[in-house]
Amino acid sequence: MADALIVIDVQNDFCPGGALAVAGGDQVVAPINALLQSAQIRVLTQDWHPAGHSSFASRHADRQPYDLIDMPYGKQVLWPDHCIRGAEGAAFHPDLQVDLADMVIRKGFRPQIDSYSAFFENDRTTPTGLDGYLRARGVTSLLLAGLATDFCVQYSALDAARLGFDVTVKLSACRGIDLSGSLQDALDAMGQAGIALID
Ligand code: VGL
Ligand code: ZN
């Protein structure tokens, strides 16, 4: 039985000045570094898209960022171009203590499908491999923090709960995007799924 800290997408593009900046996104770095110091098992996720990814509004004629469209795998919000693999925007925030991580898992690298969750792509079935990694290390409980509360953190937390992990989300080390009430919806959904929401 082990506990793991899962740090979601603390990358330049989600911080102020980035392509998909989350308000106060950089404020999660200090509390997450503190959590990294004491965590037993430490995983970082990294949003990692090829240029021209299908989740980018720029790929779709007559569409704007934040439009909602139907994809073969379900509804998809269209985003500004962000976290292009290898680019500065995809790098971790420079103050994040990346060296403490046991494992970095990248997601969103398939051109035709987005991947909010650390566990499954947005079809909710294609695995990233993180479940197997955690089980192989005997992990049963997870603490999640990072960006953004209502997208990648929420999807990761819901999938983790569905997979049978004990899940806690450290809200003071998260920030949300909040598209038309999505932050409150995320908090409600996580609460209903039995996820512990702590300050
Ligand atoms: C995220 C939108 C698009 C996130 C990633 O990390 O929450 N949101 N890609
Ligand atoms: Zn993305």
Q: Per-residue pLDDT tens for 131-179?
A: 999 999 999 999 999 999 999 999 999 999 999 999 999 999 999 999 9
Distance 141 CA to ligand 1 centre (A): 23
Q: Whose CA is nearest to atom 4 of ligand 1?
A: 152
Residue with tokens 């995809």: 90
Q: Which of 4, 3, 5, 12 is nearest to 147 (CA)?
A: 12
* 13's tokens: 């593009």
What percent of the chain has a predicted confidence (pLDDT) above 90? 99
Q: Which amino acid is at 85?
A: R
Averaged pLDDT score across all residues of the chain: 98
What is the DSSP code string of 68-89?
Answer: EEEETTEEEE-B-S--BTTSGG
Q: What is the pLDDT of residues 51-97, one digit of tens each?
A: 999 999 999 999 999 999 999 999 999 999 999 999 999 999 999 99
Ligand 1, CB cutoff 6 Å, lining residues? 9, 14, 47, 79, 116, 147-148, 151-152
Work out the pLDDT band at 197, boundaries 50, 70, 90.
very high
Q: Which ligand is nearest to the CA of 108?
A: 2
Indicate which atom in ligand 1 lies nearest the CA of residue 153: 7
pLDDT of residue 38: 96
Spatial neighbors of 71 by CB under 8 A, at least 6 apart, are 54, 113, 114, 122
Stated pTM of the model: 0.97
Work out the pLDDT band at 109, boundaries 50, 70, 90.
very high
* 42's tokens: 């430490």
Residue 1 has pLDDT above 90, yes or no: no
- Is 46 within 8 Å of 92 (Cβ atoms)? yes
